[in-house]
Amino acid sequence: MNIHEYQAAELFAKYGLPINPGRVARTPEEAAEHARAIGGTVVLKAQVHSGGRGKAGGVKLAKSPEEAAEKTGQILGLDIRGHIVQQVLVAPGADIAKEYYLGAILDREARGITMMGSAEGGVDIEEVARTNPEAIIKVTADPLLGLQDYEARELAFGMGIEAAEVNSFVAIVKQLYSAFVGEDASLAEINPLIRTGDGKWAAIDSKMVLDDSALYRHPGLEGLRDLAEENPTEIEAKKAGLAFVKLDGEIGCMVNGAGLSMATMDAIKFAGGSPANFLDVGGGATSKQVVQGLQLILADPNVTAILFNIFGGIARCDVIAQGIVDGLTQIEVKVPLVVRLLGTNQEEGRRILRESGFDLITADTMSEAAQKVVAAAAGR
Ligand code: GDP
Ligand code: MN
């Protein structure tokens, strides 16, 4: 789950990180009020689930409440990488002497929590990773032992932090690690972490991605969800009780079971296509679920063919086939449909599909199904 900068900053503050506390405004007038209360120069920052706000005009300084109102008016409604700004964070303007990058990620490859730092902070860290990867220093902490002081110091030395600042920097690295573990994050980032003109550390841009699967351990965090920022199709799917993840390909997938769904996506890739979604309709695949699933898949204009890959284990193929047929009578599908139905009562299921009168392409094996749907998607 993605959260906003100001929410991440509030979580970071619990762990002692030196964040720049601000207030959120939804109108220019509110921004002016906040600016007046804070006093002096303030920074106005678009709150959207996207980076690159600075470059997109979503971060501006204002020297007076009037200027804060005017600039907030410019930021509200901006489209930043497809995210429309509805809230602006008003915070004390920071006096930046040097910008660093500091991040923590769940590093499956290294089987630990990797802390990353760079003296090339402030800018797009993905860009640094591409063009100048040596500028990013990494240390991986063993999740059972936790981050050790010497590991945090290694990061500091690698980043070229001055000797006199190493201890205070190490404290920040450890706080970020604690925040990451304590909130069950999959990513925690400060970019930039700055040295101020008067020689202090300040975290002026906080980012956190929370692990959805761990949210049950943190009842308070669910409230940080911003539905306006989430994929509308995924929200619909959640309401319908379907596991749906939007992807970038052209082949819609309707599969029962998560494992079979993963294997189906692999088979499509292997056949030269690309899945448009992950969708596990569950064991039953009733006509209601089929209709809801088709609606989710067809909401994506990129979809040029759909593959049903259904295994009748506990569920029976004839019941599922009837669900598919009932579903297809309720919703118009203009793209080719490939169906693979296998398992308990498969003959009966195939007969129902055959006699339904719908124009369905059938397949027996997984690879045949994948090849047929890839061909159909390409119009072959
Ligand atoms: P991002 O572009 O979405 O990552 O947004 P950031 O919050 O990181 O802001 C982008 C850049 O704006 C930072 O790297 C800073 O250079 C600058 N910036 C942000 N806040 C302040 C501030 O309070 N004072 C000054 N002078 N610059 C700031
Ligand atoms: Mn940033």
Query: Do residue 198 and residue 244 come from a single domain?
Result: no
19 Cα–ligand 2 center, Å: 13
Same domain flag for 263 and 363:
yes
pLDDT tier at 232 (50, 70, 90 boundaries)?
A: confident
Same domain for 152 and 253? no
pLDDT at 285 over 70: no
10: in domain:
no
My answer on whether 167 and 236 are in the same domain is: no
Answer yes or no: do 292 and 203 share one domain. no
In a domain, 309, yes or no: yes
Residue 8 above 70 pLDDT? yes
**What is the domain extent for residue 281?**
232-377
Q: Is residue 262 part of a domain?
A: yes
Q: Is the pLDDT of residue 284 over 70?
A: no
Provide the number of structural domains found in the chain: 3
* Mean pLDDT within 11-38: 98
Retrieve residue 338's tokens: 């490939």
Same domain (yes/no): 157, 207: yes
Using the mean position of ligand 1's atoms as its centre, give its distance from the Cα of residue 46 in Å: 11
Residue 276 has pLDDT above 90, yes or no: yes
Stretch 311-316: mean pLDDT: 84
Query: Considering the domain boundaries, does residue 191 fall inside one?
Result: yes
- The stretch 41-68 carries a mean pLDDT of 96
Q: Which atom, in ligand 1's list, is nearest to the CA of 94?
A: 23
**φ/ψ bin of 290: left (φ > 0), alpha (ψ from -120 to 50), beta (otherwise):** alpha
Indicate whether 206 and 318 sit together in one domain: no
Ligand 2 centroid to residue 204 C-alpha, Å: 8
Residue with tokens 């590093």: 107
For 238-277, the DSSP string reads HHHT-EEEE-SSSEEEEESSHHHHHHHHHHHHHTT--BSE
The answer to whether position 267 is within a domain reads: yes
Of the residues 2, 19, 80, 96, which should be mutated to test ligand 1's pocket, given the most ligand atoms within 8 Å of the CB? 96
Tens digit of each residue's pLDDT (9 = 90 or more) over 112-164: 999 999 999 987 888 999 999 999 999 999 999 999 999 999 999 999 999 99
Portion of the chain with pLDDT greater than 90, in percent: 80
The tens digit of pLDDT for each residue in 97-126 reads: 999 999 999 999 999 999 999 999 987 888
237 and 373 co-located in one domain: yes
Assess whether 306 and 281 both reside in one domain. Answer: yes
> What whole-number distance in Å separates Cα of residue 206 and Cα of residue 5?
5
C-beta of residue 226 within 8 angstroms of C-beta of residue 191: no
Mean pLDDT over 38-65 rounds to: 96
CATH code for position 307: 3.40.50.261
List pocket residues of ligand 1, CB cut-off 6 Å.
43, 45, 51-54, 59, 61, 93-94, 96, 99, 122, 191-192, 204-205
For residue 62, the model assigns a pLDDT of 98
- Work out which ligand 1 atom sits closest to the CA atom of 5: 7
Establish if 9 belongs to a structural domain.
Answer: no
Residues 6 or more apart from 121 whose CB is under 8 A from it? 98, 99, 100, 101, 102, 191, 192, 193, 194
Q: Write out the two tokens for 360.
A: 């369905």
Residue 145: its pLDDT value, please? 97
Any domain includes 15: no
pLDDT (tens digit per residue) in 315-367: 788 888 888 898 899 988 999 999 999 999 999 999 999 999 999 999 999 99
**Closest Cα to residue 263, out of 128, 367, 351, 341?**
367
Q: Which of 73, 92, 111 is the last residue of a domain?
A: 92
**Confidence band, pLDDT 50/70/90 cuts, at residue 289:** confident
Claim to verify: residue 56 and residue 109 sit in the same structural domain: no
**Ligand with minimal distance to 56 CA:** 1
Are residues 248 and 208 both part of a single domain? no
Coil, strand or helix at 11:
helix
Same domain membership, residue 183 and residue 156: yes
CATH for 73 = 3.30.1490.20
CA-based nearest residue to 76, from 23, 27, 110: 27
Q: Indicate the residue among 92, 112, 136 that finishes a domain.
A: 92
Instruction: State pLDDT tens for residues 31-43.
Output: 999 999 999 999 9
* Mean pLDDT confidence for 244-262: 93
**C-alpha to C-alpha distances, 105 to 88, 159, 220, 326, nearest whole angstrom:** 27, 18, 22, 46
With a CB cutoff of 8 Å and minimum separation 6, the contacts of 301 are: none
pLDDT band at 185 (very low <50, low <70, confident <90, very high): very high
**What is the predicted pLDDT for the residue at 190?**
98
Task: Read off the pTM.
Answer: 0.80
Give residue 45 CA to ligand 2 midpoint distance, Å.
10
Checking if the pLDDT of 205 tops 70, the result is yes
Check which CATH number belongs to the domain holding 174 and give it: 3.30.470.20
Tell me what the pLDDT averaged over the chain comes to: 94
**72-88, pLDDT tens digit by residue?**
999 999 999 889 999 99
Picking from 224, 253, 280, the residue at the C-terminal end of a domain is: 224
